[in-house]
Chains A and B, each alone.
Chain A
Amino acid sequence: MIVALVGNPNCGKTTLFNQLTGQNQHVGNFPGVTVEKKEGFLLKDPSVSLIDLPGTYSLYPFTLEEKVTLDYLLNQQLDCILNIVDATNPQRGLYLTTQLKDLNIPMIVLFNMMDEVQNNHESIDLALLSKSLHVQIFPISAAKGIGINDWTHSLKKISSSIPISYGNHPLFQLQKNIKELIRPFSAYPMHDSAMIIQGNDSLFKQLDSSTQNKINQKIKDSVSKQNDSQGEFISFRHHWIESLCERACSKKNRSKETKRSLFIDKLVTHRFYSIPLFFIFIMLIYGITFGPIGSFLSEITGSFINLIQSMLTILLDSLSVSPWLKSLIEDGIFIGISSILSFLPSIMLLFLCLSFLEEVGYMARVAFILDAPMKKIGLCGKSIISLLIGMGCSVPAILSTRTLKNEKERKITVLLVPFISCSAKLPVYTLILMSFFSSKPFWLFLLVGLNLLLALLFSAFLNRFVFKQELSSTLLELPNYRLPTFKSLFQTVKQKAIDFIVRACTILLIASILIWLLQSFTPDLQYTTTIQESILAQIAQTFSPLFNPLGLSDWRIVTALISGFTAKEAVLSTLSVLFQTSISALPTLLQSLISFPAAVAFLIFFSLYTPCVATISAINKEFKSTFFTLEVILFQTSLAWLIACFFYQTLTLL
């Protein structure tokens, strides 16, 4: 049995999905968190598969992620639609419900966020709504886990759906008349009829001309003024719902949650304070991740890893394994992975901060305060949300651009994501900063600031010279602030930690082993301990000249940078494999190896050059253009090279 979750953005679909399937999909308090369909099975009844879909305001899609939902609904044989309605704003949610009813697929409606409704001492007459809409309605609170399984009993008994009757309203009669005309051609005649009235002519064009004429005539007869069947139809539905809700819901004042949010927004979206506040939040994130707390946790993890290493050595010695196997395990696998794992706490802190901002509801505010300046350079407020997500990882950042309506803004946003320092770059930053700079956070801000500046300049350039101007519009719901529950934050951070460890144990493991193999064997496949003779040294030395102008001629550093293409952390694990030292000894080694200007060049090159494989494939998937993707790789790498070269040359001159 297939059941799909459908509802407005931010009404709690994914929260419910996670509760019912035990999965850990991303939840956030702003519209447009989910942009892809996700599948799971009910914990209570694994024969039922549950599909989480992107939120949508209507079945006439406006943005890409809404199209994902519509396509799924129309092309999949669903057994039941589980329609989630935000009970704090039933009018908007029920508009979608009426459209879903047109599809004539069995449906159950869940009124979510009932905790907030009760908290405001309001009441909703669900029985009345249920009778008028001809659906079963259950009250739930997904976040609190109340009532979330009640609906499953009705699943077995669910029958085909009874259409809503809107009385003898002329537009309802029109919809029924057109439905009769197109019945032979349409799988969802009632839905398609509504779409035709609203001017969506994907089906209309396929009809023969006599049917088309009949339809046009009927529309002309029913619409009162001008040629606005679309507007009249939407208004008719909304007014019907409004009068229904007036009967079913107790009189509403602004809710406690709204009042509280308005109060907080007095400061957070204030004319003067909002912008400085935004920068303070960003600096706080880096401060927490890199400052005392982050380093303290990393040190603890580091010493724990050292302990394991000494135990491993004792174990391997006692087993008296052959020297090459010992070397593979110790110098190949363990050193590489452990150097990365010691950064786990910092990365978790970063994701904790980011998911706090997302879940508390701050993201939509950022879009509000920065929308106008962003539009000047071809972006929009929502791009900032994507870029902030990019501080964690580029891949979800790129996916999140689906919610951008304007194609130009979407492309530019994707092109800017590689400029943002994702969490995987942070370990490498830390290493270099530890080796060459005294006050870490300050230089980090400088580096991040430089990248940001370049990104903004690049964006302004693209906007002015590359893309043609399009009218850009902004429409975004501001959700009420919500205090994230400890549980949901914990779940998110846990998921990120698992992802990080999995990546360390797969991609980075393979990369480390590969590097070890290449550096342990000579071109004629003899095991060697003198690295200079190894295959890797031979290959890397051919690339070295390219990096001479950056002061990075050492072949090991070149190799490390190249390995960063697989995943950014790989630069770090490769360095520790190549130098055969743990992360704590690397700084002194690096100091003796490269000069200060070269270190600066390294940082800049690393922060800007080609995105990792995962990001590249995400870009390729979104734009389905190999050319565009290759352009991104080439452009980023050459830009990185030029800027790094500039800094190296200037600094050596000084």
Chain B
Amino acid sequence: MTLDQCKCNETVLITHLIGASPFRRRLMEMGLVPDTNVTILKVAPFRDPIEIFFKNCRCILSKNEASLIEVRSQLK
């Protein structure tokens, strides 16, 4: 599953980031590395971008790029 397919208010765990683009690097530098928890907070009025929460930080991220982030739902 990738991050753009998750539902609002769902918390998931990053497993892997796809590709090798500079954008992927920037996501990782900002702290979106494997084993990080991410929560989807909201979807923008026009359905793109999405708003996410991780490591005490809120970010907006376009769906296109959210699809680079592979996640799995958290086992509670």
Give me the interface of A with B, judged by CB distance under 8 Å: 57-58, 60, 62, 88-89, 91-92, 95, 198-199, 228, 230-231, 234-235, 238-239, 252, 254-255, 258, 261-262, 265, 269-272, 274-275, 364, 367-373, 375, 381, 471-478, 480
Provide a sorted-by-A list of 22 A–B residue pairs whose CB atoms are within 8 angstroms.
A58-B26, A89-B55, A89-B56, A199-B20, A231-B24, A234-B25, A235-B28, A238-B33, A254-B56, A261-B58, A269-B44, A271-B45, A364-B60, A368-B60, A371-B60, A372-B44, A375-B48, A473-B64, A474-B60, A474-B65, A475-B60, A475-B65
Cβ A92 vs Cβ B65 within 8 A: no
Minimum CB–CB distance for A250 against chain B, Å: 12
Minimum CB–CB distance for A518 against chain B, Å: 53
Q: Which residue of B lies closest to A255 (CB)?
A: B56
Please provide the chain B residues from 23 to 52 with a CB less than 8 Å away from any CB of chain A in the complex. Answer: 23-31, 33-36, 41-42, 44-49, 51
Cβ A89 vs Cβ B57 within 8 A: yes
Residues of chain A within 8 A (CB-CB) of B23 are 473, 475
Residues of chain A within 8 A (CB-CB) of B6 are none
Residues of chain A within 8 A (CB-CB) of B30 are 57, 92, 475
B48's partner among A228, A239, A367, A371 (CB-CB below 8 A) is A371
Residues of chain B within 8 A (CB-CB) of A271 are 45
Cβ B17 vs Cβ A92 within 8 A: no
Closest 4 A/B residue pairs (Cβ):
A372-B46, A474-B62, A235-B33, A478-B58
Complex alpha-carbon distance, A199 and B22, angstroms: 10
Cβ A62 vs Cβ B57 within 8 A: no
Decide: A477 near B58, CB < 8 A? Known: A92-B30, A228-B20, A235-B28: yes
Decide: A475 near B56, CB < 8 A? Known: A62-B22, A234-B25: no
Q: Which residue of A lies closest to B14 (CB)?
A: A235
Residues of chain B within 8 A (CB-CB) of A474 are 49, 60-62, 65
Most central of A58, A261, A270 by chain B CB within 10 Å: A58
Minimum CB–CB distance for B31 against chain A, Å: 5
Most central of B20, B29, B42, B65 by chain A CB within 10 Å: B29
Complex alpha-carbon distance, A270 and B34, angstroms: 31
Residues of chain B within 8 A (CB-CB) of A252 are 56
Complex alpha-carbon distance, A255 and B49, angstroms: 24
Complex alpha-carbon distance, A477 and B44, angstroms: 14
Complex alpha-carbon distance, A91 and B29, angstroms: 11
Residues of chain B within 8 A (CB-CB) of A368 are 44, 49, 51, 60
Decide: A234 near B46, CB < 8 A? Known: A473-B62, A478-B59: no
Residues of chain A within 8 A (CB-CB) of B35 are 235, 239
Minimum CB–CB distance for B36 against chain A, Å: 8
Complex alpha-carbon distance, A88 and B55, angstroms: 10
Minimum CB–CB distance for B46 against chain A, Å: 3
B29's partner among A60, A261, A371, A471 (CB-CB below 8 A) is A60
Residues of chain A within 8 A (CB-CB) of B64 are 471, 473
Cβ A238 vs Cβ B59 within 8 A: no
Cβ B60 vs Cβ A478 within 8 A: yes
Q: Given known contacts A91-B56, A234-B33, A474-B65, what 17 new A-B pairs fall within 8 Å (CB)? A: A60-B25, A89-B57, A91-B31, A91-B55, A92-B31, A231-B25, A231-B28, A235-B33, A238-B31, A238-B36, A255-B56, A371-B49, A372-B44, A473-B64, A475-B27, A475-B61, A478-B58
Cβ B44 vs Cβ A473 within 8 A: no
Decide: A371 near B61, CB < 8 A? Known: A57-B26, A92-B31, A235-B28: no
Residues of chain B within 8 A (CB-CB) of A228 are 20
Please encode chain B, from 54 to 75, with 1 for each CB lying within 8 Å of some chain A CB and 0 for all others.
Answer: 0111111110110000000000
Complex alpha-carbon distance, A239 and B33, angstroms: 8
Complex alpha-carbon distance, A371 and B58, angstroms: 16
Minimum CB–CB distance for A203 against chain B, Å: 17
Decide: A238 near B65, CB < 8 A? Known: A258-B58, A371-B60, A473-B23: no
Q: Which residue of B lies closest to A274 (CB)?
A: B45
Q: Which residue of A lies closest to B26 (CB)?
A: A62
Complex alpha-carbon distance, A381 and B26, angstroms: 18
Cβ B65 vs Cβ A269 within 8 A: no
Complex alpha-carbon distance, A231 and B44, angstroms: 29
Cβ A372 vs Cβ B48 within 8 A: yes
Q: Which residue of B lies closest to A31 (CB)?
A: B59
Complex alpha-carbon distance, A254 and B11, angstroms: 14
A92's partner among B22, B45, B48, B57 (CB-CB below 8 A) is B57
Minimum CB–CB distance for A491 against chain B, Å: 27
Minimum CB–CB distance for B4 against chain A, Å: 12
Complex alpha-carbon distance, A214 and B45, angstroms: 52
B60's partner among A57, A235, A367 (CB-CB below 8 A) is A367
Decide: A371 near B44, CB < 8 A? Known: A474-B60, A475-B26: yes
Complex alpha-carbon distance, A280 and B27, angstroms: 34
Cβ B42 vs Cβ A269 within 8 A: yes
A272's partner among B45, B49, B56, B60 (CB-CB below 8 A) is B45
Most central of B25, B44, B59 by chain A CB within 10 Å: B44
Residues of chain B within 8 A (CB-CB) of A269 are 42, 44-45, 51
Complex alpha-carbon distance, A371 and B63, angstroms: 11
Minimum CB–CB distance for A541 against chain B, Å: 53
Cβ B29 vs Cβ A58 within 8 A: yes
Residues of chain A within 8 A (CB-CB) of B36 are 238
B17's partner among A58, A88, A231, A472 (CB-CB below 8 A) is A231
Decide: A88 near B29, CB < 8 A? Known: A372-B46, A372-B49: no
Complex alpha-carbon distance, A368 and B50, angstroms: 8
Residues of chain A within 8 A (CB-CB) of B34 are 235
Minimum CB–CB distance for B58 against chain A, Å: 4
Minimum CB–CB distance for A404 against chain B, Å: 14
Residues of chain A within 8 A (CB-CB) of B60 are 364, 367-368, 371, 381, 474-476, 478
Cβ A373 vs Cβ B59 within 8 A: no
Complex alpha-carbon distance, A560 and B31, angstroms: 55
